[in-house]
Amino acid sequence: MQMQNDSNRVFKPFVGAEQSIKEVTWKAIILGSVISVVFGVANAYLGLKFGMTVSASIPAAVISMAVLRLMFKRVTVLENNIVQTIGSAGESLAAGIVFTIPAFFIWSADQSLLAAGYVHVITKTQIFWLSMLGGGLGILLMIPLRKYLVDQEHGRLAFPEGTACAEIIIAGDEGGTKARLVFLGIAIGALYKALQNMLKILPESVNYDFKGLLKGGTIGVDATPALLGVGYIIGPRISALMLSGAVLGYLGFAPLIAFIGNQIPDMVISPGTIPISEMDSGALRNFYIKYLGVGAVAIGGFISLIKSLPVIFSSFSKGLGQLLGKNAGNEVPVRTDRDLPMKWVLIGVLGIIAAIWILPGTELHLIGVIISVVFGFFFVVVAARIVGIVGSSSSPVSGMTIATLLVTCLMLVYFGVSGVKGMVTAMSVGTIVCIAVCMSGDIAQDLKTGYLLGATPWKQQLTEFIGLIFPAIAMGFTVFFLNDAFGFVQIEGSNRAPLLAPQANVMATLVQGVMNSSLPWLPIIVGGMVALSIELLGVSSLPFAIGLYLPLSLSTPIMTGGLISYFINRYAREENKKSKNENGILFSSGLVAGDALVSVLVAFMIGTWTFYERYYDAHDGMMRTITGSLGPWISLVCFISLAAVLGHLAWHGGIKGK
């Protein structure tokens, strides 16, 4: 693979355009579809519980190389590329779903909304069609941009995940060591999670509420393999920013609010419903810290969007030119430069517009259709270029979705659509746009991988739809099972810890508040000012805001993984640093997948097995597991041991003689 930054004409992919080798095969389609569903389901759980997903492209490529070589003698790099193209789609779809769809379940659990007549219940079929329509829109609108963003901007747009994935596939001939790290991580993560969440031998969360001077404050750790792995993957800086937000919220604001409340013991301060002096740390979060986090996340998302404005305007103008055919130039009719024909792209987009209009149960009539298509097109162009610059993990998807929702709400209110109908319409628009943005970023990275390897673009574009359809079927069942088993809000009288679905909770709060004029603006504005002050210090506020919104116990294990990543990169020799860090990322990806898959299995067991549901509830809680009062200490020791295993495998795994 030969790259040159100053001239695209000298670029030669790994497989030349004149070569014809196996690319789309049944074994690649089947394996890619399985990986797409597995990582889609795993990331659905991860996003609902922790508010983040992890890229599936690199693990999919590694697993593909291992499995295909184990089962078949000869496998091409282009077959592996198709596997990762299909396999990575599930993770992107999961992000779009879990950031938005749980809002409907959150509203259905809100007693005040139910009392006011809220009766809308989203169905698995609607989730499937929203997934297909939003995902299809994102894929189709990205296709005309490929020549410009992937080809003409080669050497200027890095597409970090897509480039890394191409490098791993090319390096795959060296053997299966990398794949073994992924599978080992899955096995260890699944076993560890089974001891915690399935068998209830160890508590997942260990917390301590302060008394005396810091009354109202809390500290703890959710000692799960997924959070440890996530921390390693995102690195020490983002981990530290998240922890800083949590520390300010739960060791700063919470004790301060509790102190003020103790001075006026009988007074109820809105949005609280009981005196602050009677609140524990959980109630303080639910009534006050949560809204500070909502404001911080909203402003953090908008600021991320504002920072991208130069890229947005440049991308939009150039992308529009591509769609109108103004920048097409003279195309070379070679295999590596053939996209799906534009007429089929336009027919597909028009078909999606018609389907959005007639989709029942979403209240997406003319206004909703117009907003969905306009914002979908605009942010697809934006997202496709942003991921080329900073990667999918740093793309401000939540900020773009929040911007869509707020503009949508204001437009609907202006046209006289409010209340429950307006809420459903706004969130349906937000869901389609969010999924389209996520899928456009995914296919942009995949097409970059294919460009470097020498894949056929139209084949990747078609197989991306295959990667969309199977997880789209699974997503509805997954979200329903997780809601039935855990819920997305804390139910009064229930000891079972819910999945917090942070982005969906923020969006549900904003939409409901705007539509019903019931938003507690003061704590939200204060949270926004906190995020703004962080930005004025020259620090990215969005990770900080997510840490402020989420409980402190989620940020501490993420910071643990981030610290391991820091020490690996700090003390490894320069020539070994990349390999060691890659070892850690692969093993961490396995931990995340193993943890999440067992959690989804537990949700299925709770929903289908009454005896197990009673067993789960009887032993759910820090002091109620099989190990009783010793459980928190044993859990901490096991978590430290797991962190040591991660550090050891990152340092030694897959590196021989060093």
Crossing angle for the helix pair 419-453 and 124-142, nearest 10 degrees? 50
Residue appearing with tokens 């040159």: 4
- pLDDT, residue 390, reads 53
- Residue 114: its pLDDT value, please? 74
Distance of alpha carbon 431 from alpha carbon 58, whole angstroms = 26
**What is the predicted pLDDT for the residue at 4?**
43
Interhelix angle 26-50/502-516, nearest 10 degrees: 60
Tokens of 23: 């690319």
Domain boundaries, the chain: 8-172+301-485
- Over the stretch 80-128, which tens digit does the pLDDT of each residue have? 899 989 988 988 899 899 989 999 998 888 777 777 667 677 889 999 9
Task: pLDDT band for 33, please (50, 70, 90 cuts).
Answer: very high
The rounded distance, in Å, linking the Cα atoms of 584 and 599 is: 22
- Grouping H, G, I as helix, E, B as strand and the rest as coil, residue 12 is strand
Cis peptide bond upstream of 225, omega within 30: no
The CA-CA-CA angle for residues 309, 242, 492, to 5°, reads 110
- Check whether 654 has a pLDDT greater than 60: no
For the chain, state the CA radius of gyration.
Answer: 24
User: Please, are residues 639 and 223 in contact by the beta-carbon 8 Å criterion?
Assistant: yes
pLDDT single digits (tens) 247-265: 999 999 999 999 999 888 8
Residue in the structure block whose two tokens are 């040591």: 644
Nearest Cα to Cα of residue 43 among 589, 439, 427: 589
Look at residue 402 and give its three-state secondary structure. Answer: helix
Buried-exposed string 305-344: b where 16+ CB fall within 10 A, e elsewhere: beebeeebeebbebbbebbeeeeeeeeeeebbbbbbeeee
3-state class (DSSP) for residue 109: coil
Q: Are 267 and 275 in contact (CB under 8 A)?
A: yes
**317-371 confidence digits (pLDDT tens):** 655 665 565 554 555 558 888 888 888 888 998 999 888 888 876 677 777 888 8
pLDDT at position 15:
84
Question: CA–CA separation, 341 vs 560, rounded Å?
Answer: 49
Q: Which two tokens stand for residue 109?
A: 């659990």
Least confident of 77-81, 491-495, 604-608: 491-495
